[in-house]
Structure 1
């Protein structure tokens, strides 16, 4: 993968770059947020590791820039471990979040895991927990039963199932499924999640509430 690293601490930046390069990835490193922003505008990446606390432009702003043009795995790094910081990262589309200090090998494993989810999400048909979700026909099959869901329920299920284990905030789900012009409230997500849970009580997956953050789908 071609990976962007934005980290102002030279030791941490070099450690991450060395670890990812040794694993066969191509790395482009930026020392400031402004430098990373210029790279985002001129190049295409397959993944990004962004420090939240950067001079010039912070990692949250960079994440937002990437999300406008590139659908790639993004991991945020920060020395802060507060829930509000994690919520902010997930709200703007980060896939994962690591608090310093961390093991570079763990970062590599997490990045590879997120990348696998993205490759899976590119498939029109998903199969998990004994359920097949077909984006081309908007049909769901469980055992010998074909289930036709309301469109928004289907799109919510497909979004969560495309990235099992990933936390999605309510705001992100609303933006991805209902659009940025949606004028309802975020409780709409809760209602749709409740309906999906009731429909798939016996499936091999479950939709979990992550308190203070949002929802994630886990395969049993």
Structure 2
């Protein structure tokens, strides 16, 4: 993969670069957020590792900029471990957090895990146990029961199911499902989630979980 790395600690930047290159990836690295923003504007990346506190555009801003243009795995690499900072990152569109200091192997494992979620997203038919979510027909099947559900509900379920385990904020889900021009209340998401949970009561294969203070994620049966 072509991976963007933004880290102003040059020792850590070198460690991240060498770790990712050893894993077979191509890396473009910078210590400056403004330079990274210019690269994002003119280049397509396949993944990104972003430090939160860098000169120029912050990691949060770069994450949001990437999300506005590309659907790629994004890891936030930071010394900040507070819930508030994680909330900002997830709201901006981050897939996962790694707190410094970190084991290089953990970086690789987490990147692979997030990348697998994105690989699943391109499949038009998503299956978990007895649940089938068919993007082509816009139908949800649980066991032998086929349900045609309202489009917004289906799109919301498909978005969550495309990235199992990933936390989506209400703002992200509104952007993905309703679009940036949505003028309603973000509690609309809560209403649709409640309806989806009711429809999924007949299966143990998947469950939509609330992540307090952050948003929602879809969990699958182990």
TM over 0.5, yes or no? Answer: yes
Shift of 1:40: 1.4
Match of 1:194?
A: 194
Q: Does the residue aligned with 1:4 lie in a helix, a strand or coil?
A: strand
Alignment partner, residue 126 of structure 1? 126
Q: Deviations over 1:149-181 (max 9, x none)?
A: 111110110000000000000111111111222
TM-score (norm 1): 0.96
Deviation at 1:216, TM superposition (A): 0.4
Q: Is the 8 A contact 2:2 2:45 kept in 1?
A: yes
User: Cα distance, 1:53 vs. partner?
Assistant: 0.3
Paired residues for 1:85-164 under 5 Å: 85-164=85-164
Confirm whether residue 216 of structure 1 aligns to residue 217 of structure 2: yes
Q: 1:8, CA displacement in angstroms?
A: 0.5
TM-score, normalization: structure 2? 0.95
**Matches of 2:104 and 2:193 in 1, distance apart?**
35
Correspondence for 2:178: 178
Is 1:205–2:206 an aligned residue pair?
A: yes
Name the SS of the counterpart of 2:21 in structure 1: helix
2:202 aligned counterpart, secondary structure: coil
Q: CA deviation at 1:56?
A: 1.5
Q: 1:64 to 1:18 in 2, by over 3 A?
A: same
Which residue does the alignment assign to 2:167? Answer: 167
Q: Secondary structure at the match of 1:185?
A: coil
Unpaired runs of at least 5, structure 2: none
Residue 77 of structure 2 corresponds to which residue in structure 1? 77
Alignment gaps of 5+ in structure 1: none
Q: Which whole-Å CA distance do the structure 2 matches of 1:111 and 1:69 have between them?
A: 20
Residue pair 2:142, 2:202 contacting (<8 A) in 1 also: no
Kindly report structure 1 stretches of 4+ aligned residues shifted beyond 6 Å: none
1:202 to partner: Cα distance: 3.1
SS at match of 1:201: helix
Aligned pair count reads 220
Give the conservation status (yes or no) of the 8 Å contact 2:52–2:77: yes
